[in-house]
Amino acid sequence: MSTTQRIKGFADMFPPESDAFTRMENTGREIFARYGFVELRTPILEFTELFQRSIGEETDVVQKEMYTFPDSRGRLMTLRPEATAGVMRAYAESGLAGREGVSRLFSCGPMFRHERPQKGRLRQFHQINCECLGSASPFADAELISMLLHFFRALRLSGLTLNINSLGCAVCRPHFREALLRYLQSLDPAALCEDCSRRMHTNPLRVLDCKQASCRAVVEGAPRLLDSICPDCAEHFSTVQKLLDRQGHAFALDHRLVRGLDYYCRTTFEVVSSQIGAQTAVAGGGRYDGLVKSLGGPDVPGVGFACGMERLALLLDAPSPAPLDFYLVALEEEGGLQGHALAQTLREAGLRGEMNFSRASWKSLMRQAGKSGARYCLILGPDETARGDIVVKNLESGEQNTLGQDTVCHFLQTGTIHD
């Protein structure tokens, strides 16, 4: 280990990826605001119990993937593996439920899961997360899914598939769970992978989304959730589909879509891409009506989603950075003094530019100006500083003019010489 080595699964982010992240955040802010969302920033560190109680003790996230450690008083703390739990805690703790009918909260930032790193899977990754709290209506589910697809269109993403399912509710899911368990117990015990042989007793629904070929084959013959949900859940799901249909959103019903976190009920959904390798899900979410109550808050229904920003970045065109307007080459001490003040004036007027810090030769400074990609090189030599002038060279055409220093700003902004 060396002090200049980063931790496995933790990435540094330079342009163009960091530019892509800024674009996603700004686009998200703009689109989500149109639906009434406001930004909530929650801490990265929470008490471990929050995640155990919300995500579920039997999930892979809680069992294997959390970064958990005791603080100096021995209390267990965890780096958040997802945003929903913290948002629910903040919602309950702030008393927002008593003040607002429906709360729409958007968050983004780093999450931490100790998974095996690969393309599109990191140990520190970033999510854009939206939660709509306070409505049990299927209109809330459909509006949220439409907003997610709107966000993806605004980012000019294509080739994405929306998969949806219903997990039923506290009334009908236990019946399905029993039917599924009976089916799994009727199989040859060797038919399931090691994880699923265990999960079958703790969380049998998770067997449905196991990626192992043997389990996938077994699941083909398993009972299906949609065949056993109660009339209320069926009506809810049918309205969600009708609303998506009316908007012309294509979707596929995926009876294996149970999601890896325990708080979901009724609608679940994922958006997948076939262009980013094995980790195909760019966003996932669903309804979680009992969650806030289970954490000790009010009985408030909710629905939400999170997008994986690293995976979306793989799909975004690299944004081309805006070129610098000027590179100022200042010679000798007086050139440096005048150039420093002038460059500052130009930037405060909205222009983008750099100036040389080193006292290199004129030739090497001109080379640096060329490399900077700036539109114009501004040259302040001894003759110019004595007269209050500046040489302005168009680095593309090579055309050169001498202007008064007080007119260069106007020239850079408009391309015309001020008389």
Burial of 115 (C-beta count, 10 Å sphere; 0-12/13-18/19+): middle
For residues 265 and 282, which CB has a smaller minimum distance to ligand HAM in the complex? 282
Q: Could you tell me which residues come within 8 angstroms of residue 251 by beta carbon, excluding any fewer than 6 positions away?
A: 162, 163, 164, 241, 244, 269
What angle (nearest 5°) sits at the alpha carbon of residue 365, between those of residues 361 and 368?
Answer: 145
CB of 83 to ligand HAM, least distance (A): 6
Distance CA 154, CA 145 (A): 14
| 393 near ligand HAM (CB under 6 A) | no
Stretch that binds ligand HAM, among 99-107, 223-231, 301-309, 334-342 (CB under 6 A): 301-309
- Beta carbon of residue 305, minimum distance to ligand HAM (angstroms, whole number): 5
Residue 308 found at the interface with ligand HAM (CB under 6 A): yes
Considering only 304, 335, 339, 353, the residue that binds ligand HAM (CB under 6 A) is: 304
CA 61 to chain centre: 18
Q: Which of residues 245-274 bind ligand HAM (CB under 6 A)?
A: 260-261
Contacts by residues 206-214 (CB-CB < 8 Å, ≥ 24 positions apart)? 206/58, 206/59, 206/258, 206/260, 207/180, 208/180, 208/255, 208/256, 208/258, 209/256, 209/257, 209/258, 209/259, 209/260
Shortest distance in whole angstroms from residue 51 CB to ligand HAM: 11
Q: Is 125 in the site for ligand HAM (CB under 6 A)?
A: yes
Q: How far is the CB of 321 from ligand HAM (least distance, A)?
A: 25
Which region, judged by CB under 6 A, interacts with ligand HAM, from 20-28, 77-85, 191-199, 292-300? 77-85
Q: Is 209 among the residues that bind ligand HAM (CB under 6 A)?
A: no
Q: How far is the CB of 303 from ligand HAM (least distance, A)?
A: 7
Chain residue whose CB lies nearest ligand HAM: 308
23 binds ligand HAM (CB under 6 A): no
CA-based R_g, the chain, Å: 28
Tokens 């007027």 found at: 349
Listed ranges 167-175, 190-198, 280-288, 404-412: which one lies at the site for ligand HAM (CB under 6 A): 280-288
Is residue 152 classed as helix, strand or coil in its secondary structure? helix
Three-state DSSP class for 400? strand
What is the phi/psi pair of residue 40, to 5°?
-120, 130
List residues binding ligand HAM (CB under 6 A): 82-84, 113, 115, 120-122, 125, 127, 129, 131, 260-261, 281-286, 304-306, 308, 310-311
